[in-house]
């Protein structure tokens, strides 16, 4: 340890004698390491920790009504009952679905995003409210018989001034009274990664919240997202096989509705297809590979800088070897220099990460309907990753220059004359040209990447050529309700264009009325 500390002090003195070289090397490494740590912070906050606030998140999985590789599909409520009752793979299966509600508390009514959820929703996810309670089992039995609500920490702070006596207060939701029974932790913003939920309501109150009416006894409407917590020792494949088997009575009773959707696929939570997980699980590893290439290019650049610098240190190294220093001791001392530079670059990269960690949301589409939100934090996992990347970087760019510099013949170097020295200088000039070329190519790469990001951001703001507000899409394949031919005809005429009969009638409708008419007219 004494000799290692001596190497550290000597390396610091050598680096201090060449501040220009040190500054260029540290800045180059900081850019390469910073790109990797920034993207790792995104991966850590979305894929490694897809739903903050959960207890033992590795046990929670997502269920979809589709075969592996097919497009994911939600479930009907009868599907949930068929799979949930008597199953052996999960400690519990929960279901939920997004809904937009009108909230009226002490202030004027406001449209917020909520979620209807089964009574065991918070128990399956392992979320314990910081105030009050979650839903009770008896609130999952009688349709319309559980007018209670659990609100998010954010809603509690922004709309109720963090009142400590919030539990028990009554609020208006879609012109119906509901009693607040709990407040979720600050870290928990919903079970779908990237989508913020403000309020949770029992699934038994679905008929009051959904314009389609009662869906609890409907075998045609596929609307539920499902989660489960695996029992110890149960694999994804075992759970998948059991759930597919338990679904078969419902598939056989309603074969037309389940055509192409007669199997259950179980995904780990970080690959949950309903949310941003599937998109991020494809995007972020690709970005990490690109950032790794950038770091490798930075290592090559710094390695060439150290090779050039080693030309001027040939006599110093030769003298040390002539005095009896072993080659291993020289390699270790040169590696210590590389590690100090890499750790300094990692420290600067950490500041870059704190600055850039929140930029992931700038790549998300701007929408007024869906509250997209991602919480990216540089926690101790990111700090540990930064340290590991920095050490590996120091070894990668330092090992070859150290081996080459320590491989000189002391006698030949000390006997060098002017001619041989000039030959060495010519080699140094060649290496310098390589360094200049690499830095130029790196600059070109960074400029191209910046132009690409700028073009991507500009493409998001392109004028589509029409007013997109107030336009809604209707999925006819998901609707099987009785047809009101008279109302449906009026809707079809109105959809035909502003000059068609019934256009004035259509413009006078609000969103909810328009949706009802489209559902009726199919």
Residues 389-417 pLDDT 10s = 999 998 888 887 777 766 666 666 666 64
Report the candidate in 17, 18, 33 with the shortest Cα–Cα distance to residue 305. Answer: 18
Which stretches of 406-417 are DSSP H helices? 410-414
* 356 pLDDT above the threshold of 80: yes
Q: What is the mean pLDDT of residues 29-53?
A: 90
Higher-confidence residue of 237 and 334: namely 237
Percent of the residues in the chain that have a pLDDT greater than 90, as a whole number: 36
Q: Which of 86-95, 316-325, 484-493 has the highest mean pLDDT?
A: 86-95
Higher-confidence residue of 2 and 29: namely 29
Spell out a b/e string for 446-474, using b for 16 or more CB atoms within 10 Å of the CB, else e: eeeeeeeeeeeeeeeeeeeeeeeeeeeeb
The total number of residues written for the chain in this structure: 522
Give pLDDT, residue 517: 41
Model confidence at 90, pLDDT cuts 50, 70, 90, reads very high
The per-residue pLDDT for range 102-127, each reduced to its tens digit, is 998 666 788 899 999 999 999 999 99
Give pLDDT, residue 461: 64
The per-residue pLDDT for range 169-194, each reduced to its tens digit, is 999 998 899 999 999 999 898 898 88
Higher-confidence residue of 459 and 250: namely 250
* Dist. CA 488–CA 496, nearest whole Å: 12
* 4 pLDDT above the threshold of 50: yes
Give pLDDT, residue 473: 55
* Dist. CA 338–CA 428, nearest whole Å: 20
Give pLDDT, residue 441: 62
Spell out a b/e string for 103-125, using b for 16 or more CB atoms within 10 Å of the CB, else e: bbbeeeeeebbbbbbbbbbbbbb
Listed in sequence order, the residues at least 6 apart from 100 whose beta carbon sits closer than 8 Å to its beta carbon are 111, 112, 113, 114, 369
User: Average per-residue pLDDT in the chain?
Assistant: 80
DSSP letters spanning 189-231: --SSTTB---EEEEGGGHHHH-TT---TT-SS---BEEEEEEP
Percent of the residues in the chain that have a pLDDT greater than 70, as a whole number: 76
Model confidence at 449, pLDDT cuts 50, 70, 90, reads confident
Give pLDDT, residue 506: 37
* 340 pLDDT above the threshold of 60: yes
Give pLDDT, residue 452: 65
DSSP letters spanning 87-136: -SSEEEEEEEEEEEEEEESSSS-EEEEEEEE-TTHHHHHT---SEE----
Q: What is the mean pLDDT of residues 308-328?
A: 74
Q: What is the mean pLDDT of residues 268-274?
A: 88
Least confidently predicted of 157-171, 286-300, 429-443: 429-443
* 505 pLDDT above the threshold of 60: no
* 338 pLDDT above the threshold of 70: yes
Higher-confidence residue of 75 and 442: namely 75
Q: What is the mean pLDDT of residues 64-87?
A: 89
Listed in sequence order, the residues at least 6 apart from 178 whose beta carbon sits closer than 8 Å to its beta carbon are 147, 148, 149, 170, 171, 172, 201, 205
Q: What is the mean pLDDT of residues 2-26?
A: 85
Give pLDDT, residue 510: 46
């Amino acid at each position: 340890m004494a000799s290692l500390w001596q190497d550290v002090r000597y390396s610091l003195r050598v680096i201090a004698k060449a501040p220009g070289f040190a500054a260029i090397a540290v800045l180059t490494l900081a850019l390469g390491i910073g790109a990797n740590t920034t993207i790792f912070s995104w991966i850590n906050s979305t894929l490694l920790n897809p739903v903050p606030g959960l207890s033992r998140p590795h046990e929670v999985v997502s269920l979809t009504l589709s075969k592996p590789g097919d497009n994911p599909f939600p479930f009907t409520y009868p599907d949930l009952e068929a799979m949930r009752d008597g199953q052996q793979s999960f400690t519990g299966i929960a279901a939920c679905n997004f809904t937009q509600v009108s909230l009226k508390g002490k202030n004027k009514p406001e449209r917020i995003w909520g979620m209807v959820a089964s009574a065991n929703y918070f128990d399956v996810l392992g979320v314990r409210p910081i105030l009050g309670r979650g839903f009770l089992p008896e609130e999952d039995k009688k349709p319309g018989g559980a007018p209670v609500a659990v609100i998010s920490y954010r809603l509690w702070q922004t709309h109720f001034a963090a009142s400590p006596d919030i539990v028990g207060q009554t609020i208006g939701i879609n012109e119906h009274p509901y009693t607040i029974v709990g407040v979720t932790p600050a870290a928990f913003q919903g079970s779908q990664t990237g989508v913020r939920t403000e309020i949770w309501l029992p699934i038994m109150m679905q008929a009051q919240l959904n314009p389609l009416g009662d869906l609890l006894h409907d075998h045609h409407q596929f609307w539920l997202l499902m989660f489960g917590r695996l029992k110890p020792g149960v694999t994804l494949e075992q759970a998948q096989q059991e759930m597919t088997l338990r679904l078969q009575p419902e598939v056989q009773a309603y074969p037309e509705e389940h055509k192409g959707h007669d199997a259950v696929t179980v995904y780990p939570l970080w690959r949950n297809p309903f949310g941003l997980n599937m998109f991020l699980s494809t995007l972020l590893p690709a970005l990490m590979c690109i950032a790794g290439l950038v770091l490798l290019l930075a290592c090559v650049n710094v390695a060439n800088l150290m090779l050039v610098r080693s030309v001027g240190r040939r006599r110093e190294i030769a003298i040390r070897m002539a005095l009896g220093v072993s080659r291993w001791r020289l390699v270790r001392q040169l590696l210590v220099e590389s590690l100090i530079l890499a750790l300094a670059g990692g420290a600067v990269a950490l500041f870059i990460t704190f600055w850039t960690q929140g930029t992931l949301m700038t790549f998300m589409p701007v929408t007024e309907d869906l509250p997209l939100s991602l919480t990216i934090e540089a926690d101790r996992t990111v700090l540990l990753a930064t340290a590991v990347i920095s050490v590996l970087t120091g070894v990668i760019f330092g090992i070859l220059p150290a081996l080459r510099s320590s491989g000189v013949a002391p006698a030949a170097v000390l006997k060098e004359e002017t001619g041989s020295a000039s030959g060495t200088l010519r080699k140094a000039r060649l290496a310098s040209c390589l360094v200049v070329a690499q830095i130029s190519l790196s600059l070109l790469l960074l400029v191209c990447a910046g132009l690409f990001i700028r073009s991507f951001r500009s493409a998001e703001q392109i004028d589509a050529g029409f007013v997109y507000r107030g336009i809604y899409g209707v999925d006819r394949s998901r609707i099987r309700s009785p047809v009101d031919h008279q109302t449906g005809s009026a809707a079809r005429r109105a959809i035909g264009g502003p000059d068609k009969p019934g256009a004035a009638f259509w413009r006078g409708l609000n969103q909810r009325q328009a949706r009802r008419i489209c559902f009726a007219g199919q």
